[in-house]
Each structure stands twice: as C-alpha cells, then as structure tokens.
Structure 1
Amino acid sequence: MHFLPKAVAVSVLTLAIAGCEKQSESQPQAEAGQAKSEMAASEPAAQPASANEAFIEFTDEIVAEIFKFAPIAPTSFGLTEADVGYHFADKLGDFSPTSIEVSRQAHSRWLEAMEQFDASQLTGTALTTHQVLASTLAKTKALKPYINAVFSPLSYFSLFPVTQLSGAHLDIPRVLQNEQPLTNEQDAKDYIARLQGIQQAFSDLALVVQQDVDKGLLPPKFAVEGAIAIIGQMTAPAPAEHPLAVVFKTKLAEIDGIDEEQKSALIAAAEQAVADSVYPGYAALKTTLETILPKASANAGIWDLKNGKEIYQGALENFGADGKTAEEIHQLGLSEVARIQSEMAAILEAEGMDSSDVIASYNALFEDPQYVFANTDEGRQELLDYLNQQMDTVSELLPTILKTLPKAPVEVRRIPEYEQDGSAGGYYTGPSLDGSRPGIYWINLKNTEDSPKFTLPTLTYHEASPGHHLQVTIAQEIQDMPMLRNMIWFSSYGEGWALYAEVLAKEMGMYKEDPMGDLGRLQSELFRAARLVVDTGLHHKQWSREEAIDYMHSTIGGSRDEVTREVERYSVWPGQACSYKLGQLKILELREQAKQALGEDFDLAEFNDQVLIHGSITLTVLADKIDAWIAGKKSA
C-alpha cells in the first residue's frame, strides 16, 4: 500500500505507542546516576489538556486509517492484535492503482482537518506533533501535482515504485523474514496467508508500474534491469529452498505445542504458497518490467522526466534544502570536498605517507592486506566480530556525550544475499517495543574488500551508536509520543544526526590511537560531501551515470563497484543523498550557536539530549527547540 513506502538504505522508523514504559518529551528520564535533562524548562507552561487531547485523538484517527489500508505497517512496528484492535497479520494490504487515489484523498482531508486546530493552544509533544505534521503535509502538497505511484501523505520523498533499490518486491520478503511473528500455530497460518497474498500484491504493483510509465515517470534503464535481476534471484531456488520457505521452516521448528505432523503440513502449505503465489506474483511484475525496459532512458537523472525540475526541487526541500537551490547545494558540496581532502592530507603527512594525491594514497590502503578481511565465510565472521567489539567499546563511553541513554540493545547482522547487490554498505532498523526484536545494524558482506578495517568504525558509529540506534531508541522511549510521529521520518534530521554522530565519536576519543580510522572517518564525511555534488550533478546539471561514477570514484576513493551502487541509488532516490550533510551542518551550526550563547554553561550532553528527545522533527522545528532550550538555561 502506498501510504508507507520503505526505503532500503535508510529504513529507520522510530517505534512508539501509548501504554508502554517510555519517557515524556517534556520531562525525559535520565539513566541512574545521570543528570536530568533541562527540557522541561524549554516547554511553555501547561495549558488545558483538552486541546492537546483533541489533537492527539485526531492523529490517532490518521493512524487507524493507515493501518486499515496498510496492515503490514503494524507488523513492521512490532504491534499485536491487542494493540491495533483487530486481526491484521494475515493481510498485506492494497498495492493497486486504487490505493494511490486513497492516499491522495487522505492527504487532502488531513490538510483540511488541520485547520481546526490552533497551534497556540497546544503544548509539549502535541505542539511538536502539530508542527511536524503541518510540515510534512505541506511538503507532500508541493509535490502532489507531479508524482503518482509513491505519493504518500506522511512519507519522505521517493519517486519510483519498483527499482533495484526499493519496492514491495523487496519490502514484503524482508518483513516476512525479519518482522512477521512466528511463535504459534496462528502465526504460522498468518505467515502462509501473507505468502498466498503475494501474487495479488505483485500483480497489482505491476499495474501501478505501468500507470507510472504512462504518466511519464519511468526509472532509468539500469534500475529496471536491476529490479529484473533481483526477481531472477528471488525465483531461482526451488520453492522448498526459497528464503521465505526456509525461514518459515526454521522458525517453525522452534515452536512448542505443534505436533510434528501438523508442522509438516504447515511447511508443505508454505512451500505450496511460494510455488502458487510468490513465483507467479514475481513473474507478473517481471513481465511488466521487461515490457517497459525498451522505453527506459539511459539518463540517470530525473531532469528528463515530465516536470523533472519541479520534482527535484521538491525532493531537495524534503531532504533539508531549506530554500537552497540545486546550484547552491552543488557549490556547497564542492567547498566541503576541498576542506575535507585538506584534512585527510594532513593525516597522511603525519603518518609519513604521500599526500600529493590524497585519494590515490587512500585507495592504496585497500590493497594493504593488514586492513582487508578475507572474502570467505571465516573472514566475514571475523569482520562481524570486529564490529561487535566496536559497539561494546562505544557503549561504555555514551554517558560522556548524552544524559538520556537507550535501553534497547543493538545487534549486527549480514544483509541477506538476495538483497546485497542493490543495497548500500550498511543500514539500521529499529527494535520492536516489546523487546523481542533488537535494533539491527545491517552490513553488506558481498565483497569484504569493499569494507577494509579502517572504514568500519565510522560506519558502525553512524548506523549503531552513537548514531541511528541512539536516535531511534531514545525516541521510542518518549512517554506521550503519538504513534503517528513514528510514521513521519525526516532524513535531514535522522541522517544529519548520524553524520554528526561520527564527529561525536572522534570527540569521544574513538580515533585517539587510530589515525587510519580517523582517515576513514574523514573519507566518510568526504563521501557525504561528494553526495551533494553528485546528486545535484545527476538531477540538476544533467550528468550521465558514468560521469557521476567517475567524479565520485576520483573524489572519495574506495572500490568502483561500491561507488557504482551508490550513484545508482542517488539516481532513483533524488535528493536523499543530500540530507546527510545538510542535516549535519545544521546541527553543528546550532551547537556553535548554543556555545556562543551559553559560554561556560554549555553542556555537550545536554545539547545532544535536546537534539534527540523530541523524536524525528524537521530542522526548522529543531532550531526552535534549541532556541527555547538556550532561553530556558539563560533565564534559570
């Protein structure tokens, strides 16, 4: 269903619902021994509860509507039938063209309903939620005339319903394998029912793809080819060997209370569903993709699509442009690239290495065997062990940079092999509320040579702690956070924090005795700065895919295969790659503003709390929150 499209690279949705033990946005709890946050002082005095309650009830009605048409969404949030009020775990939802019109009508109704609420009468989390909802509805309104299949009133912007990177052909198998509960016989029957629904879902999705093409919204040729290749991988095994059947059989074996004869029958039913529904569904989608392939453009930017210029500016605004034009962002990227390469040169000089060509020297490190894990099962396990050690070390230092500490654990896991070709180097998914599923830091292990040792610390700090895992779990523990807020994700805030977290890791001393790791950190920041250049190059300056790959590879180093995957990602997800650097720069700007205003009263841990304890918000709302915090401290 098109209310909640999920993006593979950054599937970062914070999870919260009333009734669980969490902390309040207006008065966050600190862990034992840690100072209380100053957040209460930054909120206005409490007003009559009725205005807040009425608005939160409205947001709950939005959630109920979303869950009705997208029943796979509560599964992703770790919710149960008791939470939602009815049985949903056996349904996938509507993926047909009708669902697009449902989304568009819902957007119009919600915009109209927002006019009933006076923001000046709201306080605390209700006020923040009003600000956030108003912002996201306005951003989608600006894009509404130009986009079709992936129109989503509450989602951050994406464009194409099926690519090598994203779409239901990837999302549904991921939810079933990693998020669908399987603890009893009813869960098993629900799993099978969802398998049986895949043929209809993917057949409907094929109609949506064709409708998009008819409206002039066609992915580039390589993206269509990539999606076809993924479908080929997903349908190559015999039904009994398909990942959806193997996972089912493995989890079913761990369930007590079901006799072996019934387990055998359930396994046979799952395998039959793969043969009779999953494979035909993929076949229908593949047929449509093969039909549109000859029409697909060789251009990698959306500038040649109908209304491409307007779509791209709208995308940039969704991802933190804050009024900056594509050309201004392009120039900002070039400036940041030059600064960061200069800092890398200084490290190379200090280590007695050639700094005349920073990237050539950096690339040479990839060939040094002391930094490369073997591209074998044993080498992959060694790499995973190394990542776990990093996460253990940083967790001990978190109290130095944060007052409010998360409770949920985080694990590192390998990205599934069928997904790794089109996936980024790593990403994070949040924990379930009931604690049954931890936060997961996913790592791409297709080729370990893509991830030498000096590149891994910064990726870990970005995806796990102090990056996305802190951000997601702290938001999850906000006591009065309405469920709706967990369906609104601002990439410039979320990815901005994660990139800012890489700076925090250096400030925590994580690179004190690891200059090559610090070089890797700078290359990571260089990577995000180059994204500003490449994204605007592709979609504004009309660069070809090859031009973008050449610039990226010569600017940041690393393997050409990895750079190619990244450029292909930017091509089908315009604007998103800019959000990291735009968000980080804004947070650093706000931190410097707070330092100047507070002087000796500035506390880094308190500042970081203020960035995180409100949950996902726009950069504009974040700036307002920091201003209020500064004012509160100065008046105390």
Structure 2
Amino acid sequence: MRIGLTALALVLAACGPTTGTSETAGTSPAGTEVTETVEPTAEEIEAETARLNAWFDEKYEEELMMSPIQLTFIGRKDRYGEIDDMTVEAMEEQLAWKAATVEEMKSTFDYDKLTPEAKNSWDIWEYQYEQQKEGMKYVYNGFTFDQMNGPQAFLATFLIQFHRVESLEDMEAYISRIRASGRAGGQLLDHAKTAAEKGVQTPDFALEGVIDQSRKIITGAPFTEGDDSDIWADIKTEISTLQDAGTIDEAQAETLLADAEAALLETFQPGYQAIIDWAEAELENAPANPTGVGTTQPDGEAYYNYRLRAMTTTNLTADEIHQIGLDEVARLQGEMEAIKEDYGFEGTLQEFFTFLRESTDNRDLYYEDNDAGAEAYIADATAAIENIKTMLPDYFGILPKADLIVKRVEPFREQDGAAQHYYSGTPDGSRPGIYYAHLSDMTAMPKRELEVIAYHEGLPGHHMQISIAQEIEDLPQFRTQAGFTAYSEGWGLYSEWLAKEMDGTYVDPISDFGRLGSEIWRAIRLVVDTGLHSKGWTEEEAFEYFVSNAAVTEAQARSEIQRYIVMPGQATAYKIGMIKIQELRADAEAELGDAFDIRAFHDVILGGGAMPLEILERRVDQWVEDVKAESADAPAEPAELEPAE
C-alpha cells in the first residue's frame, strides 16, 4: 500500500489506455512520397533503451523528491522531517511537471528504437500522466475523510509504523513531522470543506468512523488522563531505545520527550480536534441511507465512469461489469452447491449461508471472540503462509527477498469486520512486508476464510507481487513502484485460486468453501458497486443483495458496502484483473502446449511490476512469441530407434 500526496488528496487513479507514438521513416501525410522504413540495428536499440532508462531514473528521482511520504515508504530518509504539501495547487504543479516530462520524452527519444520492455516503460509513464490529468477534473468528487483510507488514520499510522528512528536526528525528524501533520491535516480539511460546498456530502457512517478514529488517536496521555495514547507510547519507546543503546544521553532524552509532548499538545491534538469538529457538523447534512456517486454528486455519472476506467484499466462500461458480476455469481454458486453437499448439509445454499453465518459458537468454524482467539488467528495465518513458502519454487522462478509478518491492526484504526490489508516492506528488505488483520470482532473472521485471505494478502499474493516489483534491478525505478489496482488486486485474487494447485492448502471442504466465498465476494462487488454508483441502489439494497448471495457475516457485509460507497469503482478491479490473468494463462497454455512453463509465466506477470492490463497482455503475448521462436530454433531431438527383433 503506497500513500503519498495524490492518494491522500484522492487523485490516485488511472485513465483509459494510451500508447507512445513517434514519427518514423515510412509514415507521412496522405499524398506525399513515402520513404523506405529502415529497421534499427540491435546496437541502436540497446543504446536508445539505455539512454531512456537513465532518463527515467533521473525524472523519477525528481518526482520522488516531491513526496517526503513516498521517500519514507521506500526506506529513504531524504526530507525526513517533512510531510507532503496536500493542496490542490501542489497537485497542479506536479501535473505540470509530469506533462513537461512527457513532452521531453517524445521530443528526445525514438519509440521505434526501443526494446519491447522499454516501450512498455514509455507507455506506462505516459499512462500515469494521463491518469493524473484526467483525475484533476474530479479533484473534489472524492471523499477526503472517510472510515477506510482517511488521512486521520493514515498520518498516525505513518508516524508509528513507517518513520524509523535510529538516531537523534531521526527522532527530531519524528517531532518535526508531528508539527507538519497539523499543517497537512489543515490543508486536507480545507479541501473537504470546499468539496462539501460543491455538493459532495460524506455519508454518515464515514463521518462517524472519522470521529471515532480521531478520538482514539488523541485519547490517553499526554492528551487526556489514563494510559498512554498509541503515539505517545511509541515516542517514549523510540527515545528509550536510543538512550539504552547509548545513542543519546539522559539530558537529550528529556529534551526530546518535552519537545514531542509540546508538538502533540500544541499542533497534533488541535489538528485532530478540528477534524472531529468538522465531521460532527457535517453529520447534519449526511444522508442516512446513502447511495452511490452517480446520482448524488455534480458530474457524478462521468466521475464514476472515470473511476471504472481508472480502477480496471479497461473501457468496460458499468452495465458490462454489472453483467459479468451476475454471471460469475451464478457460476460460483454452482460450485458452492457441490461443496455444501460434500460438507453434508442438506438444506439450500442460502440456508447453508445462514448456518455458517450464525454458528459463531462452533469452534470448528470460528475462533473465540477475545484476545486469545485473535492470537490464535495470527498464529494460524502465519502457519498457512509458512506452509506455502515451501512450494513457491515449483511455481515461480523469481522469489521475494523481503520477509513477511502477520500483525493485528493498531487499536486506534481497528474496525469490526473491516477488510484485511497489506503494507509493503522496503526495497532493501530492512522493513518486512506486513499483512494486517482486523481482529476486534472474531465473529467477523471465520476460520474458513483464514487461508484464502493469507494467500491474497501474503503469499503468493500481494507480498510476493509487490516485493518482486520493488526488487527488480533491470527496469527503471519508477516501474518498481508503479501501482495499478486491476493488476495488483487481480493478482491477489488469482493467487487465492492458484494456491489451490499447491499441496497442503484448502484441505477440508469448509476451507475450499471459504475460497469460493472469497471469489464470489469479489463477483458480488461487480454487481453491488455498479448497482450503487450507476443504478442508484441504496446502502440497504446493496446490503440485502450481498447477504443473500454469500455466507459473509452481517458485520462484514455492512463494512464492505460502506467501503464501496466511499471508494467508487475500486472494488471492481479485483475480479476484472483476475479474469484477465486467467485468460492470459489459458491462452498461453493453448499456444505453447508442452512448452508452457508455469514458473516462467508467473515471472512474466510479476517481473515487470504493476501495469495496465492492456500492457500486461502485450507483455505476455511477446513472451509467448519468444518461447515459440526459441522452440522453432531448437535442434530437433533425434528419433529413438526401435530395437531389432
């Protein structure tokens, strides 16, 4: 999960496909003489590619230096005491910079003198610019503060989990960032107020989530009486660790504690109180049974169509996505019927859903709803990941170097029934990837879903995909950090399905039912997301469809529907991406026959980092052609002679 300025300001998205073009010999306006096309030599291609890749790294370094947050995410300490500028003006400056780079790229380099991979890099760079450009049209349509990805939770999480303290200077930078967070939060609050003035009303549940999370962050010492708040406890631990290591002395430790407390009380707490005050005031205007953006926001239909293009990196319409969802729900329910019978349940599938949903006292199906149950969940998820690690070499040539750990979400942002998620480690492996689980309500975390979620968020899912991307050495650096939801979430969902091919997974029918439950969950998303944002479904209508077609608990379904409302289009990316990867694999298997290598296929999918689905398809097609060419060039095996009788 990567969050910088554009993500926090709700501009992170992708638009429809574009490809790089350049003038070539042999093309000319109609009616003029056409010259003969001259194919570039291998040396020319190698030289132009090297020149472009060096340029990409230079420009990406400039781009990175615009975001102190992103620098920290990738493990660097440049601008370590700063927080990004969150204003629209800053976003416009970044967009202008990106536009200038695209013009420079087109005027400086020859697209036709590049390797296929370098052409992919060109197209992705231009695609990212187009994504930012189109996103600016809808800069006020998104919800600045919400219960899912609001900066109120992110800023505290960022300081506690991602700002590494290894020196006196690092701790001083931590304190500096506490003060800077007040400025950044104020900028985002101004953005939210402007959006509200333009008719973008945040739903009541989202505002309530913002209020709850913000209050938890500033509850406890030094803000109120009682135990230390999470951020104060972290600060004290960091300073104590430095002192114990002899990095700072007692006087320096006392100064740091005093400075940190002052920053928390003078800047941090007032900033969070301002967010709480705004959210409480906005509750009066919030719809109690909200629907999607298509019918409630200025330019809502155009905004949602943009979000679908952004999230799926396709031109599929809302109606087409809705129908794909309905078809997939029907197909998956047929497979669920078979597993229900294997389990020995004699009622209908809907009755089986109800049985699973309501059997929270059955220890074969659910963990204890307490800290012991949460600890057991973490242990079992870790064990599932450790098991699948042993089988990865049979399915992948490239393996991640970074470690993976499973953790419970911090108390101040933990929500009953909320979706699990992944935070990436650093490219150098100094910080491991983290699979986070919401465990405040264990009745929303049935045992049947433990494996499938671990495979999606951990291995072979997001941890493998993101770690491999970050560790790639022969691509421009921007490719290692690129993010496209349909690709990344499509891979996560494909990983759930892929894991079934591996030994020791989904060994009992109920776990395999959980796998199908996870997939149908994503199929339902296609129906519900488009239903909410394109067809005017209310929250309650969407909720009823969800619980009627899956075994999820009511807490899970409610949390999911509310997620879709505040993140229009995002939920459609999973199934669309998975279907594309499955299609690419099936086509490659059919084309290559015995020459198909599952490890090589997965390396092609993961070895170029995240990309739009159209470019991914082109990359796989190129690999298939390369394998065919190698097979054609290979010397024929000598025929075996039959022994004489």
TM-score by length of 2: 0.86
> 1:57: how far off?
4.4
Is 1:268 aligned with 2:258? yes
In structure 2, the CA distance between the partners of 1:406 and 1:104, relative to structure 1 (3 Å rule), is: closer
Matched with 1:251 is: 238
Matched with 1:219 is: 202
Is 1:93 aligned with 2:76? no
Partner Cα separation in structure 2 for residue 419 and residue 207 of structure 1: 23
- Residue of structure 1 aligned with 2:311, choices 296, 311, 319: 319
Matched with 1:609 is: 603
In structure 2, the CA distance between the partners of 1:291 and 1:63, relative to structure 1 (3 Å rule), is: farther
User: Which segment drifts farther, 418-427 or 406-415?
Assistant: 418-427
Give the SS at the match of 2:159.
Answer: helix
Matched with 2:576 is: 582
Is 1:75 aligned with 2:72? yes
User: Percent of aligned pairs with the same residue?
Assistant: 32
Give a deviation string over 1:380-404, Cα, whole Å, max 9, x none.
Answer: 1111111111111000011121111
Structure 2 letter corresponding to 1:274: L
> 1:265: how far off?
2.4
Partner Cα separation in structure 1 for residue 371 and residue 447 of structure 2: 16
Matched with 1:328 is: 320
- Residue of structure 2 aligned with 1:302, choices 284, 288, 293: 293
In structure 2, the CA distance between the partners of 1:128 and 1:602, relative to structure 1 (3 Å rule), is: same
Structure 2 letter corresponding to 1:168: P
Give a deviation string over 1:433-486, Cα, whole Å, max 9, x none.
Answer: 232210111111111111121110000000000111111111122113333224
Matched with 2:396 is: 402
> 1:361: how far off?
4.0
Matched with 1:465 is: 459
Matched with 2:113 is: 121
Partner Cα separation in structure 1 for residue 354 and residue 44 of structure 2: 61
Partner Cα separation in structure 2 for residue 211 and residue 486 of structure 1: 35
Superposed, 1:409-488 pairs within 5 Å as: 409-421=403-415, 424-488=418-482
C-alpha contact 1:330 1:532 (8 A) present in aligned 2: yes
Matched with 1:341 is: 333
Give a deviation string over 1:319-377, Cα, whole Å, max 9, x none.
Answer: 22622210111111011011111111101112211251242343255442222212222
Matched with 1:283 is: 273
- Residue of structure 1 aligned with 2:128, choices 133, 136, 142: 136
Is 1:353 aligned with 2:345? yes
Partner Cα separation in structure 2 for residue 80 and residue 454 of structure 1: 42
In structure 2, the CA distance between the partners of 1:130 and 1:183, relative to structure 1 (3 Å rule), is: same
User: Which segment drifts farther, 296-305 or 443-452?
Assistant: 296-305
> 1:630: how far off?
0.8
Q: Taking CA–CA contacts closer than 8 Å with sequence separation of 6 or more, which of the two structures ends up with the larger relative contact order?
A: 1
> 1:48: how far off?
4.3
> 1:56: how far off?
3.3
In structure 2, the CA distance between the partners of 1:362 and 1:53, relative to structure 1 (3 Å rule), is: same
Structure 1 letter corresponding to 2:553: S
Matched with 2:385 is: 391
RMSD: 2.4
In structure 2, the CA distance between the partners of 1:367 and 1:330, relative to structure 1 (3 Å rule), is: farther
Structure 2 letter corresponding to 1:349: E
Matched with 1:162 is: 145
User: Which segment drifts farther, 579-588 or 289-298?
Assistant: 289-298
> 1:148: how far off?
1.5
Partner Cα separation in structure 1 for residue 605 and residue 336 of structure 2: 29
Superposed, 1:156-235 pairs within 5 Å as: 159-235=142-218
C-alpha contact 2:218 2:269 (8 A) present in aligned 1: yes
Give the SS at the match of 1:413.
Answer: strand
C-alpha contact 2:422 2:436 (8 A) present in aligned 1: yes
C-alpha contact 1:346 1:355 (8 A) present in aligned 2: no
Give the SS at the match of 1:210.
Answer: helix
C-alpha contact 2:9 2:86 (8 A) present in aligned 1: no
Partner Cα separation in structure 2 for residue 424 and residue 114 of structure 1: 43
Partner Cα separation in structure 2 for residue 204 and residue 425 of structure 1: 28
C-alpha contact 1:454 1:520 (8 A) present in aligned 2: yes
> 1:432: how far off?
1.1
The alignment covers a number of residue pairs equal to 588
> Bigger radius of gyration, 1 or 2?
2
Q: Which runs of 5+ in 1 are unaligned?
A: 12-43, 82-87, 151-158
> 1:295: how far off?
3.2
User: Which segment drifts farther, 315-324 or 98-107?
Assistant: 98-107
Partner Cα separation in structure 2 for residue 92 and residue 144 of structure 1: 21
Is 1:528 aligned with 2:522? yes
Structure 2 letter corresponding to 1:66: E
In structure 2, the CA distance between the partners of 1:602 and 1:549, relative to structure 1 (3 Å rule), is: same
C-alpha contact 2:605 2:616 (8 A) present in aligned 1: yes
> 1:569: how far off?
0.9
In structure 2, the CA distance between the partners of 1:143 and 1:185, relative to structure 1 (3 Å rule), is: closer
In structure 2, the CA distance between the partners of 1:422 and 1:491, relative to structure 1 (3 Å rule), is: farther
In structure 2, the CA distance between the partners of 1:339 and 1:542, relative to structure 1 (3 Å rule), is: same
> 1:107: how far off?
4.4
Superposed, 1:140-155 pairs within 5 Å as: 140-145=132-137, 147-149=138-140
Partner Cα separation in structure 2 for residue 114 and residue 211 of structure 1: 36
> 1:67: how far off?
3.5
> 1:562: how far off?
1.6
Partner Cα separation in structure 2 for residue 115 and residue 544 of structure 1: 47
Structure 1 letter corresponding to 2:152: H
Give the SS at the match of 2:415.
Answer: helix
> 1:134: how far off?
2.0
Partner Cα separation in structure 1 for residue 402 and residue 361 of structure 2: 38
Partner Cα separation in structure 2 for residue 168 and residue 350 of structure 1: 46
User: Which segment drifts farther, 284-293 or 595-604?
Assistant: 284-293
Give a deviation string over 1:207-243, Cα, whole Å, max 9, x none.
Answer: 1111222333333232223212221222222327221
C-alpha contact 1:552 1:563 (8 A) present in aligned 2: yes
Partner Cα separation in structure 1 for residue 366 and residue 432 of structure 2: 29
Structure 2 letter corresponding to 1:307: D
C-alpha contact 1:165 1:423 (8 A) present in aligned 2: no
Partner Cα separation in structure 2 for residue 353 and residue 518 of structure 1: 15
User: Which segment drifts farther, 126-135 or 388-397?
Assistant: 126-135
> 1:174: how far off?
1.4
In structure 2, the CA distance between the partners of 1:424 and 1:63, relative to structure 1 (3 Å rule), is: farther
Give the SS at the match of 1:239.
Answer: coil
Partner Cα separation in structure 2 for residue 45 and residue 625 of structure 1: 20
C-alpha contact 2:397 2:600 (8 A) present in aligned 1: yes
Matched with 2:25 is: none
TM-score by length of 1: 0.87
Partner Cα separation in structure 1 for residue 427 and residue 619 of structure 2: 26
Give the SS at the match of 1:441.
Answer: strand
